[in-house]
Amino acid sequence: MPTALGRGQCGGHITLFFTIEDVVDDPVAQGSRGAGLCLKDGVESIAKGEDGKGGLVVRFQDGDYDSTMYEDVLEELIEEVPEIRSFDWELNIRMSLPASQGFGMSASGAIASAISVQRAMGIPHEECLRRSFLIAHIVERKRSSGLGDTTALSSGGVERRIAAGSPFSGSFLDIGPGISEGWAAYTPVLLVWKDRTGKHTSKYIDHPEWKVKISEAGASAMEIIGEGKWDSGRWSELIDRSLIFACESGLEFDASRTEIIGAANEAIGNSGFSDRLSTMLCMLGESVVIVPNDYLDEDDWVGELSAALERVGFSTFPSRIGALN
């Protein structure tokens, strides 16, 4: 049997505000409503399959990470496409951004790896994408590592999720309960975080008190953002609702988030960009995303601000909002 090779890539995702909707037992129907930014940068997966019995080796190209999520992805894929078990698989994973910092790396990795294995099997493009989003959503829910990232990524761009759940479902990969809408932008963003792992998402979304605070604040934000046409005219509204959600949910004051918000805003002020830029929390990391107040603004501010924040001990990564899917 010849070697099977396939590649998958998926950008990351930043949730700006959200609800937690997980009372039903079916993971396909669980998820969140909310809004956020899909990123150009994320995870690349190269899959290589050799004659075997469904084994898996995961190799990370830029650090040590937990491989169990990729094992879960392969198990779900084999359930859907049994022929995948006739190969032993090697996944080479390259991550542009750190895990557990609110950049959607688990969803991005699950989608990218599912795409790469299916492409190695020669599965048609649209079927491959739909199944990848479905499987990534199921794996995220079973692991409590995410709620709406896969649904958000299925639309791309500047997204809002107006119904919770997977974007695709069923054996025919029909449109699922989750509904996400996106509009296109190539807006520059600067990601800022501390070099330590943040709290696992499950510490919030499975905690009774946090669930109430987050969902009430998220529902309030979606009363505004969930209505009307979703396009570039809503950019300033999105920023405003994000800042209100961070405060109302209490997440702004948990962990070291106040410190990183203060440092980012101080760097913005010292650099003379106060009128051009805003700082928003990335849910649920200990990180922020700095964006221009005008989504068409250029990136001449990125280098100076990145250097200023790195001088005071933060890590930064310049990216852009990703394309529509």
pTM score: 0.96
Best CA proximity match to 38, nearest among 196, 130, 161: 161
Longest dimension (CA), the chain: 62
What average pLDDT does the segment 152-178 reach? 97
pLDDT of 200 > 70? The answer is no
Residue corresponding to tokens 């169990």: 68
What average pLDDT does the segment 296-319 reach? 97
pLDDT recorded at residue 62: 86
pLDDT band for position 197 (50/70/90)? Answer: low
pLDDT recorded at residue 225: 98
111/212 Cα distance (integer angstroms) = 29
What average pLDDT does the segment 301-321 reach? 97
Q: Which long-range contacts (CB under 8 A, 24 or more apart) does 55-61 make?
A: 55/88, 55/89, 56/88, 56/89, 56/90, 56/91, 57/88, 57/89, 57/90, 57/91, 58/90, 58/91, 58/93, 59/90, 59/91, 59/92, 59/93, 60/93, 60/94, 60/95, 61/92, 61/93, 61/94, 61/95
**Which amino acid is it at 70?**
Y
* pLDDT tens per residue, range 93-112: 999 999 989 999 999 999 99
Percent of the chain with pLDDT over 70: 98
* pLDDT tens per residue, range 12-62: 999 999 999 999 999 999 999 999 999 999 999 999 999 999 999 999 998
* Least confident stretch, 120-134, 161-175, 250-264: 250-264
Best CA proximity match to 245, nearest among 268, 225, 271: 225
**Which amino acid is it at 49?**
G
What average pLDDT does the segment 304-322 reach? 97
pLDDT recorded at residue 256: 82
pLDDT recorded at residue 240: 98
What average pLDDT does the segment 194-223 reach? 86
pLDDT band for position 196 (50/70/90)? Answer: low
Residue corresponding to tokens 């107040």: 293
pLDDT band for position 202 (50/70/90)? Answer: confident
The mean pLDDT value of the chain amounts to 95
What average pLDDT does the segment 153-162 reach? 98
First-to-last CA distance in the chain? 34
pLDDT band for position 90 (50/70/90)? Answer: very high
pLDDT recorded at residue 34: 98
Report all structural domains of the chain as residue ranges with CATH numbers, in order of start.
Answer: 4-183 (3.30.230.10), 188-320 (3.30.70)
What average pLDDT does the segment 307-314 reach? 96
Determine the Cα angle at 38 with ends 233 and 179, to 5°: 75
Phi and psi at 59, nearest 5°, equal -120, 125
Q: Are 7 and 45 in contact (CB under 8 A)?
A: yes
What average pLDDT does the segment 281-298 reach? 95
pLDDT band for position 201 (50/70/90)? Answer: confident
